[in-house]
Structure 1
Amino acid sequence: MILSDKTLFEMIEADTLQISPLEKHQIQPASVDIRLGNTFSIVEDLPSGIINLEDEIPYKTIVTDTYILLPNQFVLATTMEYFHLPDDLTAFVEGRSSLGRMGLFIQNAGWVDPGFHGEITLELYNANRCAIELKAGRRIGQLVFAKMDSPAIHPYQGKYQGQKGATGSRVYLDMEKQR
Protein backbone atom coordinates (compact mmCIF):
# COMPACT_ATOMS: atom_id res chain seq x y z
CA MET A 1 0.00 0.00 0.00
CA ILE A 2 1.42 3.39 -1.03
CA LEU A 3 1.32 5.91 1.80
CA SER A 4 -0.64 9.15 1.58
CA ASP A 5 0.48 12.56 2.75
CA LYS A 6 -1.74 12.14 5.83
CA THR A 7 0.02 8.92 6.84
CA LEU A 8 3.46 10.37 6.06
CA PHE A 9 2.76 13.39 8.28
CA GLU A 10 1.58 11.07 11.08
CA MET A 11 4.65 8.82 10.83
CA ILE A 12 7.03 11.80 10.81
CA GLU A 13 5.22 13.36 13.77
CA ALA A 14 5.43 10.04 15.67
CA ASP A 15 9.13 9.76 14.70
CA THR A 16 8.60 6.28 13.18
CA LEU A 17 9.80 7.69 9.83
CA GLN A 18 12.70 10.10 10.09
CA ILE A 19 13.67 12.55 7.34
CA SER A 20 16.10 15.36 8.05
CA PRO A 21 16.15 18.13 7.04
CA LEU A 22 12.52 18.25 5.93
CA GLU A 23 10.21 21.11 5.04
CA LYS A 24 6.45 20.50 5.10
CA HIS A 25 6.02 21.48 1.45
CA GLN A 26 8.20 18.49 0.44
CA ILE A 27 5.39 16.14 1.42
CA GLN A 28 3.24 15.59 -1.66
CA PRO A 29 -0.07 13.66 -1.91
CA ALA A 30 1.71 10.29 -2.33
CA SER A 31 5.45 11.01 -2.03
CA VAL A 32 8.17 13.10 -0.42
CA ASP A 33 10.29 15.38 -2.60
CA ILE A 34 14.03 14.77 -2.35
CA ARG A 35 16.56 17.52 -2.92
CA LEU A 36 20.03 17.40 -4.36
CA GLY A 37 22.87 17.50 -1.85
CA ASN A 38 26.26 19.12 -2.42
CA THR A 39 28.43 16.03 -2.82
CA PHE A 40 29.27 14.53 -6.22
CA SER A 41 31.54 11.60 -7.07
CA ILE A 42 32.98 10.45 -10.38
CA VAL A 43 34.98 7.35 -11.18
CA GLU A 44 38.65 8.27 -11.48
CA ASP A 45 40.45 7.31 -14.66
CA LEU A 46 42.06 3.91 -14.37
CA PRO A 47 45.33 3.06 -16.16
CA SER A 48 43.72 -0.04 -17.69
CA GLY A 49 40.54 1.81 -18.65
CA ILE A 50 38.57 -1.14 -17.25
CA ILE A 51 36.46 -1.25 -14.10
CA ASN A 52 36.98 -4.55 -12.31
CA LEU A 53 34.15 -5.74 -10.06
CA GLU A 54 36.53 -7.51 -7.67
CA ASP A 55 38.55 -4.42 -6.68
CA GLU A 56 37.59 -1.20 -4.95
CA ILE A 57 36.80 1.49 -7.51
CA PRO A 58 38.56 4.85 -6.99
CA TYR A 59 36.28 7.91 -6.99
CA LYS A 60 37.00 11.61 -6.98
CA THR A 61 34.56 13.36 -4.63
CA ILE A 62 33.68 17.01 -5.08
CA VAL A 63 31.78 19.13 -2.54
CA THR A 64 30.13 22.07 -4.29
CA ASP A 65 26.79 23.84 -4.45
CA THR A 66 26.88 23.89 -8.28
CA TYR A 67 27.96 21.04 -10.55
CA ILE A 68 28.00 21.19 -14.36
CA LEU A 69 26.99 17.78 -15.75
CA LEU A 70 28.45 17.56 -19.24
CA PRO A 71 26.70 15.80 -22.14
CA ASN A 72 26.93 12.00 -21.83
CA GLN A 73 28.51 12.35 -18.38
CA PHE A 74 27.69 10.13 -15.41
CA VAL A 75 28.04 11.31 -11.81
CA LEU A 76 26.99 10.07 -8.39
CA ALA A 77 25.17 12.60 -6.24
CA THR A 78 23.47 12.52 -2.88
CA THR A 79 20.24 13.72 -1.36
CA MET A 80 20.21 16.58 1.12
CA GLU A 81 17.97 14.45 3.29
CA TYR A 82 19.02 11.69 5.65
CA PHE A 83 16.39 8.95 5.98
CA HIS A 84 15.65 6.38 8.63
CA LEU A 85 13.03 3.84 7.56
CA PRO A 86 11.29 1.55 10.03
CA ASP A 87 11.43 -2.21 9.49
CA ASP A 88 7.97 -2.32 7.88
CA LEU A 89 8.39 0.45 5.31
CA THR A 90 10.10 0.51 1.92
CA ALA A 91 10.50 3.28 -0.64
CA PHE A 92 10.93 3.72 -4.38
CA VAL A 93 13.14 6.48 -5.80
CA GLU A 94 11.54 8.26 -8.74
CA GLY A 95 12.97 11.02 -10.90
CA ARG A 96 11.04 14.14 -11.85
CA SER A 97 9.42 14.19 -15.26
CA SER A 98 10.39 17.85 -15.70
CA LEU A 99 14.08 16.92 -15.40
CA GLY A 100 13.76 13.79 -17.51
CA ARG A 101 12.38 15.94 -20.30
CA MET A 102 15.69 17.84 -20.25
CA GLY A 103 17.65 14.60 -20.67
CA LEU A 104 18.62 14.19 -17.01
CA PHE A 105 18.24 10.55 -15.99
CA ILE A 106 17.96 9.94 -12.24
CA GLN A 107 18.20 6.50 -10.74
CA ASN A 108 19.59 4.76 -7.71
CA ALA A 109 18.62 1.19 -8.42
CA GLY A 110 15.19 2.52 -7.53
CA TRP A 111 14.70 0.82 -4.18
CA VAL A 112 15.22 1.64 -0.50
CA ASP A 113 14.98 -1.36 1.81
CA PRO A 114 13.14 -1.42 5.14
CA GLY A 115 15.46 -0.52 8.02
CA PHE A 116 17.78 1.58 5.81
CA HIS A 117 19.20 4.75 7.22
CA GLY A 118 21.41 7.22 5.41
CA GLU A 119 21.48 9.67 2.56
CA ILE A 120 20.45 8.21 -0.78
CA THR A 121 23.07 8.06 -3.50
CA LEU A 122 21.66 8.96 -6.90
CA GLU A 123 23.13 8.03 -10.27
CA LEU A 124 22.76 10.98 -12.63
CA TYR A 125 23.30 10.81 -16.38
CA ASN A 126 23.05 13.65 -18.90
CA ALA A 127 21.61 12.24 -22.14
CA ASN A 128 21.35 15.73 -23.65
CA ARG A 129 23.76 17.44 -26.07
CA CYS A 130 23.94 20.43 -23.71
CA ALA A 131 25.48 20.60 -20.25
CA ILE A 132 23.05 20.71 -17.30
CA GLU A 133 23.72 22.90 -14.27
CA LEU A 134 22.87 21.08 -11.04
CA LYS A 135 22.39 23.09 -7.83
CA ALA A 136 22.31 21.80 -4.27
CA GLY A 137 18.90 22.17 -2.66
CA ARG A 138 17.00 21.72 -5.95
CA ARG A 139 14.18 19.18 -6.08
CA ILE A 140 15.64 16.22 -7.95
CA GLY A 141 13.06 13.47 -7.41
CA GLN A 142 10.72 11.91 -4.93
CA LEU A 143 10.39 8.91 -2.66
CA VAL A 144 7.21 6.89 -2.79
CA PHE A 145 6.71 4.92 0.44
CA ALA A 146 4.94 1.57 0.70
CA LYS A 147 3.86 -0.19 3.89
CA MET A 148 4.80 -3.87 4.08
CA ASP A 149 2.39 -6.54 5.30
CA SER A 150 4.68 -7.15 8.31
CA PRO A 151 8.08 -5.96 9.54
CA ALA A 152 11.06 -7.47 7.74
CA ILE A 153 12.64 -10.44 9.51
CA HIS A 154 16.05 -9.17 8.36
CA PRO A 155 15.85 -5.37 7.89
CA TYR A 156 18.62 -3.76 5.87
CA GLN A 157 22.07 -3.96 7.43
CA GLY A 158 24.06 -3.87 4.17
CA LYS A 159 27.20 -2.20 2.96
CA TYR A 160 25.52 1.20 2.41
CA GLN A 161 23.89 1.48 5.85
CA GLY A 162 24.52 4.94 7.33
CA GLN A 163 26.05 6.35 4.15
CA LYS A 164 26.57 10.08 3.81
CA GLY A 165 27.62 11.84 0.64
CA ALA A 166 27.74 10.41 -2.88
CA THR A 167 28.85 6.86 -2.04
CA GLY A 168 30.62 4.86 -4.71
CA SER A 169 29.98 1.22 -5.53
CA ARG A 170 31.00 -1.30 -2.92
CA VAL A 171 30.31 -4.29 -5.18
CA TYR A 172 33.85 -5.54 -4.49
CA LEU A 173 32.71 -6.37 -0.94
CA ASP A 174 30.40 -9.03 -2.42
CA MET A 175 33.48 -10.89 -3.64
CA GLU A 176 35.14 -10.67 -0.23
CA LYS A 177 32.13 -12.40 1.33
CA GLN A 178 32.47 -15.26 -1.15
CA ARG A 179 36.15 -15.84 -0.30
Structure 2
Amino acid sequence: MQAFESSVSGILPCQSIETLIATGAIASDTPFDTDQVQPASLDLRLSDRAWRVRASFLPGQRKVEDRIADVSMHPIDLSGGYVLEKGCVYIARLQERLSLPPGLIARANPKSSTGRVDVFVRLLTDRGAAFDDVDAGYEGPLYLEIAPQTFSILVRPGTRLNQLRLKAGEPPRLETRSVGVDLDSGEGGIVGFRGRRHAGVVDLDRIDGHDPRDFWEPLSAPKGELLLDPGEFYILASREAVEIPVMQAAEMTPIDPSVGEFRVHYAGFFDPGFGTDEAHGAGSKGVLEVRTHDTPFLLEHGQIVARLVYEPLTMRPDRLYGEGGSHYQRQGLKLSKHFRAWR
Protein backbone atom coordinates (compact mmCIF):
# COMPACT_ATOMS: atom_id res chain seq x y z
CA MET A 1 0.00 0.00 0.00
CA GLN A 2 1.45 3.36 -1.00
CA ALA A 3 2.09 5.78 1.85
CA PHE A 4 0.05 8.96 1.99
CA GLU A 5 2.25 11.88 1.05
CA SER A 6 1.71 15.35 2.46
CA SER A 7 4.24 18.13 2.86
CA VAL A 8 2.53 19.29 6.07
CA SER A 9 0.78 17.65 9.00
CA GLY A 10 -2.86 18.46 9.41
CA ILE A 11 -6.49 17.58 8.89
CA LEU A 12 -7.46 16.68 5.33
CA PRO A 13 -9.89 19.05 3.56
CA CYS A 14 -12.76 17.94 1.34
CA GLN A 15 -10.78 17.70 -1.90
CA SER A 16 -8.26 15.34 -0.30
CA ILE A 17 -11.08 13.17 1.03
CA GLU A 18 -12.56 13.04 -2.46
CA THR A 19 -9.17 11.92 -3.80
CA LEU A 20 -9.10 9.09 -1.26
CA ILE A 21 -12.55 8.03 -2.46
CA ALA A 22 -11.45 8.16 -6.09
CA THR A 23 -8.38 6.00 -5.39
CA GLY A 24 -10.30 3.42 -3.30
CA ALA A 25 -8.72 4.24 0.07
CA ILE A 26 -12.28 5.03 1.16
CA ALA A 27 -14.83 2.72 -0.45
CA SER A 28 -18.53 2.02 -0.05
CA ASP A 29 -21.10 -0.70 -0.66
CA THR A 30 -23.20 1.87 -2.57
CA PRO A 31 -22.39 5.07 -4.51
CA PHE A 32 -21.41 7.99 -2.30
CA ASP A 33 -24.00 10.72 -1.76
CA THR A 34 -23.23 14.05 -3.40
CA ASP A 35 -23.33 15.89 -0.06
CA GLN A 36 -21.53 13.26 1.99
CA VAL A 37 -18.12 14.95 2.00
CA GLN A 38 -18.04 17.94 4.34
CA PRO A 39 -15.35 20.70 4.35
CA ALA A 40 -13.06 18.63 6.60
CA SER A 41 -14.91 15.40 7.33
CA LEU A 42 -16.88 12.54 5.78
CA ASP A 43 -20.37 11.53 6.88
CA LEU A 44 -20.72 7.78 7.44
CA ARG A 45 -23.93 5.86 6.64
CA LEU A 46 -25.66 2.88 8.18
CA SER A 47 -25.97 -0.27 6.10
CA ASP A 48 -28.91 -2.68 6.42
CA ARG A 49 -27.08 -4.94 8.93
CA ALA A 50 -27.26 -4.47 12.69
CA TRP A 51 -27.40 -6.42 15.94
CA ARG A 52 -28.99 -5.89 19.33
CA VAL A 53 -26.22 -6.63 21.83
CA ARG A 54 -26.28 -7.11 25.58
CA ALA A 55 -23.06 -5.19 26.23
CA SER A 56 -20.64 -2.75 24.71
CA PHE A 57 -17.17 -4.08 23.88
CA LEU A 58 -13.85 -3.48 22.22
CA PRO A 59 -12.74 -6.19 19.77
CA GLY A 60 -9.19 -6.45 21.06
CA GLN A 61 -7.31 -8.87 18.79
CA ARG A 62 -10.48 -10.10 17.09
CA LYS A 63 -12.74 -8.95 14.28
CA VAL A 64 -15.84 -7.03 15.29
CA GLU A 65 -18.31 -9.59 13.91
CA ASP A 66 -16.49 -12.43 15.68
CA ARG A 67 -16.88 -10.52 18.93
CA ILE A 68 -20.54 -9.74 18.17
CA ALA A 69 -21.23 -13.47 18.18
CA ASP A 70 -20.42 -13.48 21.92
CA VAL A 71 -22.79 -10.66 22.89
CA SER A 72 -25.51 -10.58 20.20
CA MET A 73 -29.11 -10.99 21.29
CA HIS A 74 -30.49 -11.03 17.74
CA PRO A 75 -29.65 -9.67 14.25
CA ILE A 76 -31.64 -6.76 12.80
CA ASP A 77 -32.50 -5.89 9.21
CA LEU A 78 -32.65 -2.11 8.86
CA SER A 79 -33.78 -2.14 5.23
CA GLY A 80 -37.41 -1.30 5.99
CA GLY A 81 -36.61 1.12 8.79
CA TYR A 82 -36.19 0.05 12.41
CA VAL A 83 -36.74 1.64 15.82
CA LEU A 84 -33.69 1.53 18.09
CA GLU A 85 -35.05 1.75 21.62
CA LYS A 86 -33.63 3.99 24.32
CA GLY A 87 -31.69 2.17 27.01
CA CYS A 88 -30.54 -0.52 24.57
CA VAL A 89 -27.22 -1.05 22.81
CA TYR A 90 -26.83 -1.87 19.12
CA ILE A 91 -24.00 -2.49 16.68
CA ALA A 92 -24.50 -1.58 13.01
CA ARG A 93 -22.21 -2.15 10.08
CA LEU A 94 -21.53 1.01 8.08
CA GLN A 95 -21.60 1.23 4.29
CA GLU A 96 -18.09 2.70 4.14
CA ARG A 97 -14.84 0.75 4.55
CA LEU A 98 -11.23 1.88 4.64
CA SER A 99 -7.86 1.00 3.16
CA LEU A 100 -5.82 3.73 4.82
CA PRO A 101 -2.29 4.27 3.56
CA PRO A 102 0.58 4.57 6.04
CA GLY A 103 0.90 8.12 7.30
CA LEU A 104 -2.84 8.73 7.50
CA ILE A 105 -5.01 8.17 10.58
CA ALA A 106 -8.69 8.83 11.20
CA ARG A 107 -10.93 9.82 14.07
CA ALA A 108 -14.71 9.62 14.28
CA ASN A 109 -17.24 11.70 16.18
CA PRO A 110 -21.04 11.88 16.36
CA LYS A 111 -22.73 14.32 14.00
CA SER A 112 -24.24 17.41 15.62
CA SER A 113 -27.77 16.18 15.04
CA THR A 114 -26.96 12.85 16.69
CA GLY A 115 -25.61 14.41 19.87
CA ARG A 116 -28.54 16.80 20.15
CA VAL A 117 -31.03 13.93 20.46
CA ASP A 118 -28.87 12.20 23.09
CA VAL A 119 -27.77 9.24 20.99
CA PHE A 120 -24.38 7.93 22.10
CA VAL A 121 -22.39 6.50 19.16
CA ARG A 122 -18.83 5.18 18.84
CA LEU A 123 -16.89 3.82 15.88
CA LEU A 124 -15.48 0.27 15.97
CA THR A 125 -12.82 -1.29 13.74
CA ASP A 126 -11.53 -4.85 13.50
CA ARG A 127 -8.87 -5.45 16.16
CA GLY A 128 -9.31 -1.88 17.34
CA ALA A 129 -7.91 -1.00 20.75
CA ALA A 130 -9.97 2.19 21.19
CA PHE A 131 -13.32 3.60 20.15
CA ASP A 132 -13.43 6.24 17.39
CA ASP A 133 -9.71 6.06 16.49
CA VAL A 134 -8.51 4.38 13.27
CA ASP A 135 -4.82 3.50 12.96
CA ALA A 136 -2.71 4.25 9.89
CA GLY A 137 -2.80 1.37 7.43
CA TYR A 138 -6.16 0.04 8.66
CA GLU A 139 -7.89 -2.04 6.01
CA GLY A 140 -11.37 -3.31 6.70
CA PRO A 141 -15.01 -2.56 7.51
CA LEU A 142 -16.40 0.02 9.91
CA TYR A 143 -19.03 -0.50 12.60
CA LEU A 144 -20.99 1.80 14.87
CA GLU A 145 -22.10 1.24 18.43
CA ILE A 146 -25.44 3.02 18.95
CA ALA A 147 -27.00 3.64 22.37
CA PRO A 148 -30.06 5.95 22.42
CA GLN A 149 -30.34 7.55 25.86
CA THR A 150 -33.42 9.82 26.03
CA PHE A 151 -35.44 9.14 22.87
CA SER A 152 -35.98 6.01 20.81
CA ILE A 153 -34.94 6.63 17.20
CA LEU A 154 -36.02 5.43 13.76
CA VAL A 155 -33.13 4.65 11.40
CA ARG A 156 -32.70 3.01 8.01
CA PRO A 157 -29.88 2.29 5.55
CA GLY A 158 -28.22 5.59 4.67
CA THR A 159 -28.97 7.27 8.01
CA ARG A 160 -25.91 9.31 9.04
CA LEU A 161 -25.05 9.25 12.73
CA ASN A 162 -21.31 9.95 12.77
CA GLN A 163 -18.51 11.45 10.72
CA LEU A 164 -14.86 10.71 10.02
CA ARG A 165 -11.97 13.17 10.12
CA LEU A 166 -8.67 12.17 8.49
CA LYS A 167 -5.26 13.43 9.58
CA ALA A 168 -1.82 13.38 7.99
CA GLY A 169 1.08 13.14 10.42
CA GLU A 170 0.66 14.62 13.89
CA PRO A 171 -1.02 18.04 13.56
CA PRO A 172 0.03 20.53 16.24
CA ARG A 173 -2.56 22.03 18.54
CA LEU A 174 -2.71 25.63 17.41
CA GLU A 175 -4.87 26.92 20.23
CA THR A 176 -7.15 25.79 23.04
CA ARG A 177 -10.06 28.02 24.04
CA SER A 178 -12.32 27.64 27.05
CA VAL A 179 -16.07 27.50 26.49
CA GLY A 180 -18.51 28.84 29.06
CA VAL A 181 -22.24 28.23 29.33
CA ASP A 182 -24.85 30.90 28.56
CA LEU A 183 -27.55 31.12 31.24
CA ASP A 184 -28.61 34.69 30.49
CA SER A 185 -32.34 34.45 29.78
CA GLY A 186 -32.39 37.43 27.42
CA GLU A 187 -35.60 38.48 25.73
CA GLY A 188 -37.14 35.05 25.22
CA GLY A 189 -36.47 33.83 28.74
CA ILE A 190 -35.33 30.40 27.52
CA VAL A 191 -31.75 29.35 28.29
CA GLY A 192 -32.04 25.70 27.39
CA PHE A 193 -34.16 22.59 26.97
CA ARG A 194 -34.54 19.38 28.96
CA GLY A 195 -35.51 16.15 27.21
CA ARG A 196 -38.86 14.64 28.14
CA ARG A 197 -38.44 11.11 29.46
CA HIS A 198 -41.51 9.51 27.86
CA ALA A 199 -41.56 11.13 24.43
CA GLY A 200 -42.23 9.42 21.12
CA VAL A 201 -39.83 8.19 18.45
CA VAL A 202 -37.49 10.57 16.60
CA ASP A 203 -37.20 9.75 12.89
CA LEU A 204 -33.59 10.73 12.17
CA ASP A 205 -34.24 11.21 8.44
CA ARG A 206 -37.25 13.48 8.92
CA ILE A 207 -36.08 17.09 8.91
CA ASP A 208 -38.29 19.73 10.59
CA GLY A 209 -40.82 16.95 11.08
CA HIS A 210 -41.32 16.86 14.86
CA ASP A 211 -43.09 19.21 17.25
CA PRO A 212 -40.41 20.19 19.78
CA ARG A 213 -42.95 20.55 22.59
CA ASP A 214 -43.61 16.81 22.43
CA PHE A 215 -39.95 16.10 23.19
CA TRP A 216 -38.53 19.06 25.10
CA GLU A 217 -39.26 21.20 28.14
CA PRO A 218 -38.01 24.82 27.94
CA LEU A 219 -35.88 26.10 30.82
CA SER A 220 -35.26 29.53 32.31
CA ALA A 221 -32.59 30.73 34.71
CA PRO A 222 -33.74 34.04 36.23
CA LYS A 223 -30.79 34.13 38.64
CA GLY A 224 -28.24 32.96 36.08
CA GLU A 225 -28.19 29.51 37.65
CA LEU A 226 -29.56 26.15 36.50
CA LEU A 227 -29.85 23.06 38.69
CA LEU A 228 -28.98 19.94 36.71
CA ASP A 229 -30.76 16.79 37.85
CA PRO A 230 -28.96 13.42 37.72
CA GLY A 231 -29.76 11.35 34.65
CA GLU A 232 -31.43 14.19 32.75
CA PHE A 233 -30.34 15.47 29.33
CA TYR A 234 -30.03 19.18 28.56
CA ILE A 235 -29.45 21.33 25.49
CA LEU A 236 -27.66 24.58 26.36
CA ALA A 237 -25.58 27.13 24.44
CA SER A 238 -22.09 28.49 24.82
CA ARG A 239 -21.66 32.00 26.14
CA GLU A 240 -19.05 32.73 23.49
CA ALA A 241 -19.60 32.90 19.75
CA VAL A 242 -17.46 30.31 17.96
CA GLU A 243 -15.57 31.01 14.75
CA ILE A 244 -13.41 28.47 12.94
CA PRO A 245 -10.84 29.98 10.51
CA VAL A 246 -10.84 28.64 6.97
CA MET A 247 -7.45 26.94 7.39
CA GLN A 248 -8.33 25.26 10.68
CA ALA A 249 -10.75 22.76 12.18
CA ALA A 250 -11.65 22.27 15.81
CA GLU A 251 -12.91 19.67 18.24
CA MET A 252 -14.80 20.36 21.45
CA THR A 253 -13.36 18.33 24.31
CA PRO A 254 -14.54 17.79 27.90
CA ILE A 255 -12.95 19.63 30.77
CA ASP A 256 -11.39 17.97 33.81
CA PRO A 257 -14.23 16.19 35.66
CA SER A 258 -12.93 17.59 38.94
CA VAL A 259 -14.60 20.94 38.13
CA GLY A 260 -18.10 19.54 37.67
CA GLU A 261 -20.10 16.34 37.96
CA PHE A 262 -21.50 16.45 34.44
CA ARG A 263 -20.62 15.49 30.89
CA VAL A 264 -20.65 18.06 28.09
CA HIS A 265 -20.58 17.26 24.39
CA TYR A 266 -21.33 14.18 22.42
CA ALA A 267 -20.62 15.75 19.03
CA GLY A 268 -17.43 17.76 18.89
CA PHE A 269 -16.26 18.43 15.32
CA PHE A 270 -16.32 22.00 13.98
CA ASP A 271 -15.46 22.33 10.28
CA PRO A 272 -13.59 25.28 8.71
CA GLY A 273 -15.80 28.28 8.09
CA PHE A 274 -18.17 27.63 11.00
CA GLY A 275 -19.35 31.04 12.17
CA THR A 276 -16.83 33.02 10.11
CA ASP A 277 -17.45 36.13 8.02
CA GLU A 278 -16.10 34.39 4.94
CA ALA A 279 -18.87 31.81 5.32
CA HIS A 280 -21.37 34.70 5.69
CA GLY A 281 -21.69 34.30 9.42
CA ALA A 282 -20.94 36.54 12.37
CA GLY A 283 -20.00 33.94 14.92
CA SER A 284 -22.24 31.06 15.97
CA LYS A 285 -22.94 29.72 19.43
CA GLY A 286 -21.70 26.26 20.23
CA VAL A 287 -24.56 24.02 21.33
CA LEU A 288 -23.79 22.00 24.46
CA GLU A 289 -25.21 18.55 25.10
CA VAL A 290 -25.14 18.13 28.86
CA ARG A 291 -25.81 15.10 31.04
CA THR A 292 -25.22 14.98 34.79
CA HIS A 293 -23.70 12.07 36.68
CA ASP A 294 -24.78 10.84 40.12
CA THR A 295 -25.43 14.09 41.99
CA PRO A 296 -27.36 17.30 41.30
CA PHE A 297 -25.13 20.13 40.12
CA LEU A 298 -25.75 23.87 40.16
CA LEU A 299 -24.47 25.42 36.94
CA GLU A 300 -23.72 29.17 36.84
CA HIS A 301 -23.78 31.61 33.93
CA GLY A 302 -20.37 31.78 32.29
CA GLN A 303 -19.01 28.68 34.01
CA ILE A 304 -16.36 26.89 31.92
CA VAL A 305 -17.80 23.57 30.70
CA ALA A 306 -15.68 22.52 27.71
CA ARG A 307 -12.69 23.46 25.55
CA LEU A 308 -12.19 23.94 21.82
CA VAL A 309 -8.96 22.52 20.41
CA TYR A 310 -7.89 23.98 17.05
CA GLU A 311 -5.74 22.10 14.51
CA PRO A 312 -4.46 23.10 11.05
CA LEU A 313 -5.63 21.79 7.70
CA THR A 314 -3.12 20.50 5.17
CA MET A 315 -4.51 22.95 2.61
CA ARG A 316 -7.39 25.36 2.13
CA PRO A 317 -10.69 23.49 1.58
CA ASP A 318 -12.54 23.94 -1.69
CA ARG A 319 -15.70 24.76 0.25
CA LEU A 320 -16.55 26.02 3.73
CA TYR A 321 -19.09 25.13 6.36
CA GLY A 322 -22.46 26.67 5.62
CA GLU A 323 -21.94 27.27 1.91
CA GLY A 324 -25.14 26.21 0.20
CA GLY A 325 -27.03 26.38 3.49
CA SER A 326 -26.75 24.70 6.87
CA HIS A 327 -29.17 24.11 9.70
CA TYR A 328 -26.59 25.23 12.27
CA GLN A 329 -24.72 28.16 10.69
CA ARG A 330 -25.29 31.41 12.65
CA GLN A 331 -27.09 29.38 15.31
CA GLY A 332 -27.89 30.44 18.83
CA LEU A 333 -29.58 28.04 21.22
CA LYS A 334 -30.97 25.50 18.78
CA LEU A 335 -32.43 22.01 18.84
CA SER A 336 -31.46 19.44 16.24
CA LYS A 337 -32.67 19.71 12.65
CA HIS A 338 -35.35 17.07 13.30
CA PHE A 339 -37.50 19.60 15.19
CA ARG A 340 -39.47 22.57 13.99
CA ALA A 341 -38.53 25.99 15.36
CA TRP A 342 -39.67 26.62 18.92
CA ARG A 343 -42.62 28.98 19.13
Normalising by structure 2, we get a TM-score of: 0.37
Matched, 1:112 2:126: no
Change (3 A) 1:34 1:120: same
Q: How far 1:39 sits from its partner (Å)?
A: 1.0
2:160 corresponds in structure 1 to 139
Q: Which residue of 1 aligns with 2:26?
A: 18
Once the two structures are TM-superposed, the CA of residue 75 in structure 1 deviates from its matched residue by 0.5
Q: Which has the larger radius of gyration?
A: 2
Task: Pick the aligned partner of 1:94 from 97, 109, 112.
Answer: 109
The CA distance in 2 between the partners of 1:90 and 1:119, in whole Å, is: 15
Identity %: 27
1:2 counterpart = 2:11: yes
Q: CA deviation at 1:44?
A: 5.8
- How many equivalent pairs are there? 139
Indicate the residue corresponding to 2:47 in structure 1. Answer: 37
Contact 2:97 2:141 in 1 (8 A): yes
Please report how far the alpha carbon of residue 64 of structure 1 lies from its aligned counterpart in structure 2 after TM superposition: 2.5
Match runs of 1:11-90 below 5 Å: 11-13=20-22, 15=23, 17-20=25-28, 21=30, 22-43=32-53, 57-59=70-72, 60-65=74-79, 66-90=81-105
Supply the distance in 1 between the matched residues of 2:44 and 2:85 (Cα, whole angstroms): 22
What SS class does the counterpart of residue 142 from structure 1 fall into?
Answer: strand
Shift of 1:16: 6.1
Identify which of structures 1 and 2 has the higher relative contact order when contacts are C-alpha pairs closer than 8 Å and 6+ apart. 1
**Gap change, CA 1:16 and 1:105, over 3 Å in 2:** same
In the superposition, the TM-score normalised over structure 1's length comes to 0.69
Residue by residue over 1:82-141, the C-alpha shift from the partner in whole angstroms, topping out at 9 and shown as x without a partner, is 22211221111111111211111111211111121222111101111x321111111221
Task: Please give the secondary structure, in 1, of the residue aligned with 2:141.
Answer: strand
* Contact persistence 1:92–1:145 (CA under 8 A): yes
Structure 2: tracts of 5 or more residues without a match: 1-9, 61-66, 124-130, 171-343
Q: Which runs of 5+ in 1 are unaligned?
A: 46-52, 150-179
The separation in 1 between residues aligned to 2:119 and 2:35, in whole angstroms, is 24
Letter in 2 for 1:75: Y
Give the root-mean-square deviation of aligned CA atoms. Answer: 2.3
- In 2, the alpha carbon distance for the partners of 1:144 and 1:29 equals 10
Residue 58 to residue 125, structure 1, CA distance change in 2 (3 Å): closer
For residues 15-73 of structure 1, give each alpha carbon's deviation from its aligned partner in whole angstroms, at most 9, with x where no partner exists: 1623224234211110111111111112369xxxxxxx9x9714232223222111211
Equivalent pair of 1:16/1:86 in contact (CA under 8 Å): no
Structure 1 pair 75–147 and aligned structure 2 pair: CA distance change class (3 A): same
Give 2:16's aligned amino acid: T
